[in-house]
Amino acid sequence: MTEVVLGRTGIRANKNGFGALPIQRVSFDEARVILRKAYDCGINFFDTARAYSDSEEKLGFALSDVRDQIYIATKTAAQTGDDLRKDLETSLGHLKTDRVDILQFHNPSFCPRPGDGTGLYEAAAEAKTQGKIGFIGITNHRIHVAEEAVGSGLYDTVQFPFSYLAGDRERSLIKGCQEKNVGFIAMKALSGGLISNGAAAWAFMAQYENVLPIWGVQSTVELDEFLACQADPPSLTEQLCAVIEKDRTELTGEFCRGCGYCLPCPAGIDIPNSARMSLMLRRARPQDYLTEDWKEKMGRIPDCIHCGHCRDHCPYGLDTPRLLADNWADYQKFMK
């Protein structure tokens, strides 16, 4: 089993992290089967969030008796110090524990700092002093926020989308984490479902010794794929390199990478997901991703006020409002 040391935290985690967002979609009993199998097979890093409905409760339900053998990272989207304290108490209660190993700010539009007026960083530091959290992390979809967090020296871990579709700037972010001894947690290692070859994704990640991927898993079948990679790690053979190259070629041009640099949208549109629906419909089985939540988010596309913010901030030069309109048209056709 390959381990990753998460920067200055010293956490040594199996390089097969468990992303606990998708277990929201299954029952408590199903979640327990999946989580216990993951634990029994050596997975020891579990990433959840206050915002993932009952994901924290399911983790507490399934793994509280082995709490000391695992690492738990959760997230808060609190906007004030008081709200962070409340969120943390809720998380601790749901997780049935008295501490989380990493508390991450959940995709804030800025990099929280002491003295910024929100009280967020101070509240997290206080929780650390009290022993309620081990380390302070941040998750983000905006690379400039992630870069600032790494450079600030304030964060023990950074969580950011990273897959074999990533560009040079993301690779520089990983290098920056290594230089600053900041742990790097990779979300969307399958690019939110656009990548369907788990072996290729695994082999690509293996090249980055400081990167801990968290694979979103909602069934034992999906889990088994990653456990098979863990048992017999695929290497970057010519065949897998060809898969990666094919995907990179296919997913070029007018393709939304889901990076989120265009956020926030004043109309509340979830651009990174909504602008990729057409591709998802072509590349993945709808029953695997087309949740009620995603459908609700798609329904916001017509609310676009054409302010142009997304187009002006997309590093890939996409005409994002038009892309959203095209995706909306494809989606409507599919739903008929």
**Tokens in use for 225?**
């794929």
**Residues 263-277 as b or e (16 or more Cβ within 10 Å = b):** bebebebbbbbbbbb
- Residue 324 contacts ligand SF4 per CB under 6 A: yes
Out of 261, 278, 280, 290, name the contact with ligand SF4 by CB under 6 A.
Answer: 261
CB of 261 vs ligand SF4, minimal distance in Å? 4
Q: Fill in the amino acid letter for 296.
A: E
213 lies in the binding site for ligand SF4 (CB under 6 A): no
Asked if 325 touches ligand SF4 (CB under 6 A), the answer is: no
Contact with ligand SF4 (CB under 6 A) among 125, 206, 267, 284: 267
Considering the complex, what minimum distance in angstroms separates the CB of residue 271 from ligand SF4?
Answer: 5
Nearer to ligand SF4, 94 or 142 (CB): 142
Which listed range, 53-61, 208-216, 219-227, 251-259, lies at the site for ligand SF4 (CB under 6 A)? 251-259
Per the rule left: phi > 0, alpha: psi between -120 and 50, beta: everything else, 10 is: left
Report residue 282: phi and psi, to 5°: -80, -35
Q: Identify which range of 85-93, 278-286, 313-321, 328-336 contacts ligand SF4 by CB under 6 A.
A: 313-321
| Residue 256 in contact with ligand SF4, rule: CB under 6 A | yes
> What is the C-alpha separation between 54 and 131, in angstroms, rounded?
24
Phi, psi angle pair for 59, to nearest 5°: -65, -45
Segment interacting with ligand SF4 (CB under 6 A) among 111-119, 214-222, 269-277, 291-299: 269-277
Q: Give the C-alpha separation, 276 to 254, whole Å.
A: 10
Four-CA torsion 292, 200, 223, 42, nearest 10 degrees: -140
Q: Which of 111, 123, 229, 262 binds ligand SF4 (CB under 6 A)?
A: 262
Q: In terms of Cα–Cα distance, which of 128, 131, 77, 68 is closest to 104?
A: 77
For the chain, give percent helix, strand, coil, nearest 5: 50, 15, 35
> Measured from the CB atom, is 206 or 267 closer to ligand SF4?
267
Our CB check for ligand SF4 shows the closer of 184 and 261 to be: 261
Site for ligand SF4 contains 167 (CB under 6 A): no
Contact between 140 and 182 under an 8 Å Cβ cutoff? The reply is: no
Stretch that binds ligand SF4, among 54-62, 154-162, 224-232, 318-326 (CB under 6 A): 318-326
Distances (CA, A) of 181 to 5, 10, 119, 205: 10, 10, 25, 18
CA distance 79 to 43: 32
How big is the site for ligand SF4, counted in residues (CB under 6 A)?
Answer: 27
CA distance 155 to 305: 36
Kindly state whether residue 173 participates in binding ligand SF4, applying the rule CB under 6 A. Answer: no
Nearest alpha carbon to residue 21 among 68, 83, 61, 73 = 73
Q: Cβ of residue 293: shortest distance to ligand SF4, in angstroms?
A: 18
Q: Taking CB under 6 A as the criterion, which residues in 291-310 touch ligand SF4?
A: 304-310
Least distance (Å) between residue 323 CB and ligand SF4: 7
Q: Give 4 or 304: the residue with its C-beta nearer to ligand SF4.
A: 304
Q: Is 316 in the site for ligand SF4 (CB under 6 A)?
A: yes
Residues near ligand SF4 (CB under 6 A) are: 256-262, 265-267, 269, 271-272, 275, 304-310, 314, 316, 318, 320-321, 324
